[in-house]
Structure 1
Amino acid sequence: MQHGQVKPAPETARDPRAHLLARYRTVRERTEALAKHLTPEDMLLQAMPDASPTRWHLAHTSWFFEEFVLQRFEGSFAPYDPHYAYLFNSYYNSVGEQWPRDRRGLLSRPSAADVFAYRAAIDERVEGLLSDLSEGGFAEAAEIITLGLHHEEQHQELLCTDIKAAFALNPLAPAAFAMPEALEEEPEDQGPAANDRWVSFEGGIHAIGHEGEDFAFDNETKRHKVYLDDFSLHGTPVTNGQFLAFIEDGGYRAASLWLAEGWDWRAREAVVHPVYWRKVDGAWFEFTLHGLIPLRPDRILSHVSAYEAFAFAEWAGARLPREAEVEVALSKSDPAAGQFLDPAGFVHPHLVGRDNGLGSAFGTVWDWTQSAYSAYPGFRPAAGAIGEYNGKFMSSQLVLKGGSCATPPGHIRATYRNFFPPDARWQFTGIRLARDV
């Protein structure tokens, strides 16, 4: 997930310090709530090089505030532990060397208890700093703290997807989160026809990208104009039942449906179904953060690669949307209306929204696009270490839009640009079809 330069949101509260402090506490407490049901042993698991242990996420997000806030603004700064800058730095090469990413699961020390103590100490120092800074110093620090909070929210989603990837390897199919006592009442599956609708959008010249004083990562800028032909997006993301029909029709065996690189990946990895689907005694189940549950055909499909998405779209007689098309569609939807991360809730895609507009536009699953992740016209990375992340990853990745059920509420917007390589499946990635009009 990306990092970058930001502008703080305009402050409307009477007491900006109190407002920022309240948000700081909310974000930090949510991270720890996500680890509530995990054991110290769970927190050390690393399923693959792309994923990180829970313990590392907990420490890294604290190191960010220590490195970029306390070291810069604390008058008598001293590191909590000099070793942590090496152990918990991610990719900030201009800050210093890092422990190898693919070996984070080997760090049994510091212990989970040590990491929580580290978090508490950093929180105490940041909160003290917010009280002590002059007006000018506060304004400058608030910008970096705001960035740090959005950075931590990204790691909240990664914490969920990374522990899911680790638990999925366990034959006991353990649950990372408790299943809510009562899920929202869900209607019976109405079949594919209930969701078979398209929403049309007028082409022409559209402006995309971020502008204004609200928070945004640097890769969302600059706002610029693009030309689009008339297009339609499917009213809902692809469901489990629709993808099951693709499987049963031989979709994973039909080379003509696949990109060449995708076909090679499918063969090399022996992929025959979505990564978290399981067949038990002839019945389909899917692994979730709440354990193994029966596969519901009317729930939204998740955890598919862009290669699988391309193949399904070809099979369905459609295509994947372009980034600009999805952004134009999202700009007409409410970013607060969607299924987002709730540590006490159901962290798995719910049913599709059945309305007259674009159902599940925000949240639930990230929509793969066919657009390469590249710089917008006029893009300039932020100065210094915090500008390292976005620009240097603009190669061999595709853009995803809209957020997921593991994205924290209030974190997403129409201009948000997520990005992953096309073979990535451990994120809550789904499919929304597009077609030309």
Structure 2
Amino acid sequence: MKKIAVVGTGYVGLVTGVALSDIGHNVTCIDIDHEKVKKMRDGESPIYEPGLDEVMTRNINAGRLHFTTSHEEGFVGKDVAYIAVGTPEREDGTADLRFIETVAKDIAQNITEDITVVTKSTVPVGTNDYIIGLIRDNLAKDVTVNIVSNPEFLREGSAVYDAFNGDRIVVGADSAEAGDLIEEINKPFGIPVYRTDVRSAEMIKYASNAFLATKIGFINEISNLCSRLDANVEDVAFGMGLDGRIGNQFLKAGIGYGGSCFPKDTSALVKIAESVDYDFELVKSVVSSNKRQQLVMVDKAKDVIGGLKGKTIALLGLAFKPNTDDMRESPAIAISRELLLAGADVKAYDPIAAVNAAHFMPDGVEYVGSKEEALSQADAVIIVTDWAEFKDMELSVFETEMAAPVVFDGRNCYGLEEVSRTNIEYYSIGRRPVVPEKVRVAE
């Protein structure tokens, strides 16, 4: 058992700290927000993440998981300190390292003995060299500090599962001793460990996310072609995925990616490339393609309905993906902004993210408490997030609640045959539209 400090209790820090305590380590999570720390001490997660509260409570009760606002208390006597604070995107696309810098100085001022610092935060290549320099320049005591890059690969909505069932644990260390220590700490997870140098580990994180974003961007572009060529993108994706060199993951066409990782990391990778005079055209095209894709259903609605001014448009789903309340870079933001600019009235429902959405969405959106209320007398609906609540709903709800059952499905939630047995006018991503006979006659 090792004594571990984790600085930052967002998705990465909290899940990391909870998981490490669950495999037997004594973990203290540090956060400057007193109210947040109080809730976590009571076993209440500040983020919506399925299964997290249960694992938190188990380890708090076992005496292995602790929370504090005191850096002095948090760092004293620790073998390892994990940095897991945010690195948000600046306006120019670069990563903002202010929180990293603050943590590095806090570590330097409060550690009392030799320690290994582990960077979980996603940081530009070379940042760990900067962090260790900051720490050593600000040390209050004569101690030895080593640094390890240990990037996270947690998916929001299934982060707890991923912590215990990941594909690999990357340990980037220029000190064999420090690398051995972090490998030992993670051994109880039973997940393969890949050892490399610090800078390569930093790049693995960016390269992985950029590749997955590219895969999503590619199938979305293919879906747009399928729409014009009367092909079915789901059949195309399935046929592609049968090739072992391609695989079937991240080939689900939709209205683009969002969240805290792909948008930020692709932009940062472009800036990292620019810093060494390299024009990363492929990733730049993925970024611009994704921005276009987020509005593909709004463009389709304008074509189908005509003018949107005065029309009531329902949004089902606001979070960037199901099983999370994360609104960062959600397509719902761009969609609602475009609808409002076109003069539409927007009613929105999300089973989890509505409260958080108000901090991200443009003014003018009406938030309602159920899907039925959102659909009531709506002229059209755009499905933004493929929550199970929407995927499993009876399609008759669209017919009974809406003024006109016109559905723009940005996540391909329903089968075309199923929809064809209804009176719904249905448009999805990369598949043929389903238009009832009476609508075709009217046209």
* TM-score, scaled relative to structure 1: 0.21
* TM-score, scaled relative to structure 2: 0.21
Bigger CA radius of gyration: 2
Quick one: higher RCO (CA 8 Å, sep 6+), 1 or 2?
1
Pick the structure with more helix per residue.
2
